Chains A and B, each alone.
Chain A
């Protein structure tokens, strides 16, 4: 089924200050195969991709592309050679239209050499429609959701006549249905004889679509071979560097928060949240120690609900009460003072300050607490930062490493640390494990359960149903801004959730 070797990376090494990101990594991509690249967060997957595509020059090793040695010094060179890439952090221009983003650099031109917008827009619509996305291509990309943006990025990469298509965690912001569409696209690319390098943390997806797999751990290649010959457990064991027995025991990890007592006053009571076109009278109640999941599909109003609670989405009506006290709506500051903190969906644009250090990112929020008479004691800072780095197992070369240099999962943990040092009462988590590998995901889930056990109220959003079901004590199911069902106790199962989504429940 697979053909000639298209791209061969030999003994590639790459170090960053304080970190060896890759050492002696080999990777061979053959025509017509989908090659999985897996590893925990920080294993070096994104770095390997950036080395392959000319973003980072390798420190050692060589690249052989279509039979000849190559050295890409810019992304442009790799693209011109026929390697197209969707990087992990979606890289498109938000202010520009969908069509412009698809065609930047290869815009159709009239015979006068000017851009032909009509042709470009038509081609863009046709292309996206063939990928199952219906959208007005003249709209600025910024006005569209993460799922559509991701599809645009993929369409852009797959549309060029590439010999190699690289996808770094393309499904992390996609809904299940969109994942199907993506896989159809990948099939098409594979059938066309190109090689696909596919990075994902979702094991189901890997086994569904990939032919071959390479596993990285701590910057080294630990395995490479046919996907079908590698049992799941062994794959996880390879990624984590633990033995199978250990995994079997821990594999059943679940949130096991204490059952909340119904009598307790809710730590969070949101009633009748209404915002035009987005929310229509949404109620959410969370008791101390309880984790309430929000179920729903793209556009159901899950993010809007938590944003309304956190005060970042203005509401027309509805009240939010925290621990019995009502909170002024539409004010993030008021919500924070009341003890409500939110982990936003899009950490890149909403939360993290990539150029500041891990320490600064964490203490930023804690400043009011750390300062005595306006001075921030460095020692207090250090204690808090060290505690969180240890407790959340943040992998950084030092507290002074820039957050932008950390892997996605570790950035997420830094954000979480920042929220936690405010000692909140209510924690709103919007896709807390998006783009995080299985190991870190279990850690984050365990951590959330731990926090709930300490009496925190948690609202959890995840597009992975399994995660919502496993993680929540009860689930509020939303559709088009309405609450269509409430699942409690024994009803918190994937089947019931899907049924509620499909039928809208009875009330």
Chain B
């Protein structure tokens, strides 16, 4: 032991962090929160109807469904994957809740969770063990789940209503401290998500897998198993979100959730998660979701603008974030090595 310690320490060419690197890291992690704060601040001064409790409740409610889906997506993207199926699975979850509720609220909740979790498991197994590209696998289940949905609802002809007095419907519609239960459920899930990603070995291994799956495998991490469960969790969360949304509106509607996966991906990326995997935060995703929803809300407040402009603004935003990320990560890479 001493033989080594007594040796002169190997002089490491410690280049220190440059200011640019430091800023890069900060923008990456906190950029979405700062922009969200700015947008909220400006909107509060511009619109009387914006900074009201009612409006806050409204935005929170709207955000909760997307947030729950985006939470699963965050983990999947950090692991270096993508889950395109969540929009269809979300819609399927809603319709299955409306079908299941005829046997009681427990069935109304379990049916979507089991089926949607199963679809996620299928995704995960094909990606992790079948070694297929996540993009392709989840595109296939996107189409498959949508097809299944149309098949069980006669092409969407019959919208199933959920009894207003059922417990499940109450979970969708009830409130606590003024905010709907789905908001609280999302808050709890995000709190769990933060802890899992940042403070557990599982979260740490997800970051490692996204950073370099091969390195993670050679370091002895259970890459395939982890990957499979991530997609399962994503499917479960999408199904849960769909069920909650159905409960909220007391009906299982077939046509919802088209393009929902893209909103979720946008929220995750705006929240600072690298689309290439290996880095990201759950808190950032929450900020990303809120940002998208606040922008939508503001456009509604303006009133004269068509709601389609929401997509335009969100799209511009996403492009800006990705451009900044790319620029900053190039700045990073430029300093990666020394002689």
Q: Residues of A at under 8 Å CB distance from B? A: 55, 74-76, 78-80, 85, 87, 91-96, 100, 104-105, 107, 109, 113-115, 129-136, 139, 142-148, 151, 156, 175, 177-178, 180-181, 184-185, 187-188, 277-278, 296, 298-304, 313-314, 345-346, 461
Counting CB contacts under 8 A, is B222 at the interface?
Answer: yes
B201 and A92 contacting across the interface, CB-CB below 8 Å: no
Chain A residues with CB below 8 A from B332, complex form: 142-143
B217 and A94 contacting across the interface, CB-CB below 8 Å: no
- The smallest C-beta distance from A42 to any residue of chain B, in angstroms, reads 21
Of the candidates A134, A148, A188, A303, which one forms a contact with B1 in the assembled complex, judged by CB atoms under 8 Å apart?
A188
Chain B residues with CB below 8 A from A134, complex form: 9-12, 14
Q: Quick one: closest B residue to A112, CB to CB?
A: B199
- The smallest C-beta distance from A61 to any residue of chain B, in angstroms, reads 22
Counting CB contacts under 8 A, is B3 at the interface?
Answer: yes
Of the candidates B4, B201, B211, B216, which one forms a contact with A107 in the assembled complex, judged by CB atoms under 8 Å apart?
B201
Given contact pairs A91-B219, A93-B211, A298-B339, a sample of 16 additional A-B residue pairs in the complex whose CB atoms are under 8 Å apart: A93-B215, A96-B278, A132-B10, A136-B14, A143-B336, A145-B12, A146-B337, A147-B12, A175-B10, A181-B10, A184-B3, A185-B4, A187-B3, A299-B338, A300-B339, A303-B338
User: Can you list 18 contacts pairing A with B, beta carbon distance less than 8 Å?
Assistant: A75-B217, A75-B218, A91-B214, A95-B279, A100-B208, A132-B8, A132-B10, A133-B10, A134-B10, A134-B14, A145-B337, A147-B12, A175-B10, A181-B4, A185-B4, A277-B15, A298-B11, A303-B338
Chain A residues with CB below 8 A from B11, complex form: 134, 298-299
Counting CB contacts under 8 A, is B335 at the interface?
Answer: yes
- The smallest C-beta distance from B2 to any residue of chain A, in angstroms, reads 10
Kindly name the residue among B7, B14, B279, B338 whose own CB sees the greatest number of chain A CB atoms within 10 A.
B338
B200 and A114 contacting across the interface, CB-CB below 8 Å: yes
Residues 277 to 296 of chain B near chain A (Cβ within 8 Å): 278-279
Counting CB contacts under 8 A, is B306 at the interface?
Answer: no
Of the candidates B219, B334, B338, B339, which one forms a contact with A104 in the assembled complex, judged by CB atoms under 8 Å apart?
B219
A143 and B339 contacting across the interface, CB-CB below 8 Å: no
Counting CB contacts under 8 A, is B212 at the interface?
Answer: yes
Chain B residues with CB below 8 A from A144, complex form: 12
Given contacts A104-B204, A115-B199, contact A93 B10 (CB under 8 A): no
Alpha-carbon distance A151/B207, docked complex (angstroms): 22
B17 and A143 contacting across the interface, CB-CB below 8 Å: yes
Given contacts A104-B208, A115-B199, contact A91 B220 (CB under 8 A): no
Chain A residues with CB below 8 A from B21, complex form: 143
Counting CB contacts under 8 A, is B27 at the interface?
Answer: no
Chain B residues with CB below 8 A from A180, complex form: 7
Given contacts A109-B201, A113-B200, contact A304 B339 (CB under 8 A): yes
Alpha-carbon distance A299/B13, docked complex (angstroms): 6
Chain A residues with CB below 8 A from B13, complex form: 145, 298-299
B218 and A55 contacting across the interface, CB-CB below 8 Å: yes
- The smallest C-beta distance from B215 to any residue of chain A, in angstroms, reads 4
Chain A residues with CB below 8 A from B204, complex form: 100, 104, 107, 115
A94 and B211 contacting across the interface, CB-CB below 8 Å: yes
- The smallest C-beta distance from B108 to any residue of chain A, in angstroms, reads 33
B7 and A91 contacting across the interface, CB-CB below 8 Å: no
- The smallest C-beta distance from A284 to any residue of chain B, in angstroms, reads 14
Alpha-carbon distance A80/B1, docked complex (angstroms): 25
Q: Residues of B at under 8 Å CB distance from A? A: 1, 3-5, 7-15, 17, 21, 195, 199-201, 204-205, 207-208, 211-212, 214-222, 278-279, 332-339
A91 and B218 contacting across the interface, CB-CB below 8 Å: yes
Given contacts A91-B214, A105-B205, A131-B4, contact A75 B337 (CB under 8 A): no
B201 and A148 contacting across the interface, CB-CB below 8 Å: no
B335 and A133 contacting across the interface, CB-CB below 8 Å: no
Chain B residues with CB below 8 A from A314, complex form: 334
Alpha-carbon distance A295/B337, docked complex (angstroms): 18
B221 and A139 contacting across the interface, CB-CB below 8 Å: no
Of the candidates B12, B15, B222, B336, which one forms a contact with A76 in the assembled complex, judged by CB atoms under 8 Å apart?
B222
Chain B residues with CB below 8 A from A156, complex form: 219
Alpha-carbon distance A189/B229, docked complex (angstroms): 37
Chain A residues with CB below 8 A from B10, complex form: 132-134, 147, 151, 175, 177-178, 181
- The smallest C-beta distance from B118 to any residue of chain A, in angstroms, reads 26
A104 and B337 contacting across the interface, CB-CB below 8 Å: no
Chain B residues with CB below 8 A from A105, complex form: 201, 205, 219-221
Alpha-carbon distance A135/B3, docked complex (angstroms): 20
Q: Quick one: closest A residue to B333, CB to CB?
A: A142
B218 and A85 contacting across the interface, CB-CB below 8 Å: yes
Alpha-carbon distance A345/B336, docked complex (angstroms): 12
Chain A residues with CB below 8 A from B201, complex form: 105, 107, 109, 115
Chain B residues with CB below 8 A from A298, complex form: 11, 13, 338-339
- The smallest C-beta distance from B168 to any residue of chain A, in angstroms, reads 32
- The smallest C-beta distance from A148 to any residue of chain B, in angstroms, reads 5
A132 and B339 contacting across the interface, CB-CB below 8 Å: no
A130 and B5 contacting across the interface, CB-CB below 8 Å: yes
B14 and A94 contacting across the interface, CB-CB below 8 Å: no
Chain B residues with CB below 8 A from A278, complex form: 338
Q: Quick one: closest A residue to B274, CB to CB?
A: A95
Q: Quick one: closest B residue to A92, CB to CB?
A: B215
Of the candidates A132, A135, A301, which one forms a contact with B14 in the assembled complex, judged by CB atoms under 8 Å apart?
A135
Given contacts A105-B220, A135-B14, A143-B15, contact A304 B338 (CB under 8 A): yes
Alpha-carbon distance A156/B218, docked complex (angstroms): 12
A299 and B5 contacting across the interface, CB-CB below 8 Å: no
Alpha-carbon distance A302/B336, docked complex (angstroms): 15
Kindly name the residue among B1, B278, B336, B339 whose own CB sees the greatest number of chain A CB atoms within 10 A.
B339
B220 and A80 contacting across the interface, CB-CB below 8 Å: yes
Chain B residues with CB below 8 A from A185, complex form: 4
Chain B residues with CB below 8 A from A301, complex form: 339
Alpha-carbon distance A352/B337, docked complex (angstroms): 17
Chain A residues with CB below 8 A from B217, complex form: 74-75
Of the candidates A79, A109, A145, which one forms a contact with B338 in the assembled complex, judged by CB atoms under 8 Å apart?
A145
Q: Quick one: closest B residue to A175, CB to CB?
A: B10
B215 and A91 contacting across the interface, CB-CB below 8 Å: yes
- The smallest C-beta distance from A404 to any residue of chain B, in angstroms, reads 11
- The smallest C-beta distance from B71 to any residue of chain A, in angstroms, reads 19
Given contacts A94-B211, A298-B338, contact A104 B216 (CB under 8 A): yes
A79 and B207 contacting across the interface, CB-CB below 8 Å: no
Q: Quick one: closest A residue to B199, CB to CB?
A: A114
Of the candidates B7, B214, B219, B335, which one forms a contact with A143 in the assembled complex, judged by CB atoms under 8 Å apart?
B335
Alpha-carbon distance A95/B211, docked complex (angstroms): 6
Chain B residues with CB below 8 A from A94, complex form: 211-212
A133 and B7 contacting across the interface, CB-CB below 8 Å: no
CB-based closest 3 A-B pairs: A299-B13, A93-B211, A79-B220
Given contacts A143-B336, A345-B337, contact A104 B218 (CB under 8 A): no
- The smallest C-beta distance from B40 to any residue of chain A, in angstroms, reads 31
Q: Quick one: closest A residue to B14, CB to CB?
A: A135
Q: Quick one: closest A residue to B25, CB to CB?
A: A140
Q: Quick one: closest B residue to A146, CB to CB?
A: B337
A93 and B216 contacting across the interface, CB-CB below 8 Å: yes
Alpha-carbon distance A94/B213, docked complex (angstroms): 12
Given contacts A298-B339, A299-B339, contact A93 B208 (CB under 8 A): yes
Q: Quick one: closest A residue to B21, CB to CB?
A: A143
Alpha-carbon distance A178/B12, docked complex (angstroms): 10
B1 and A130 contacting across the interface, CB-CB below 8 Å: yes
- The smallest C-beta distance from B284 to any residue of chain A, in angstroms, reads 15
A133 and B12 contacting across the interface, CB-CB below 8 Å: yes
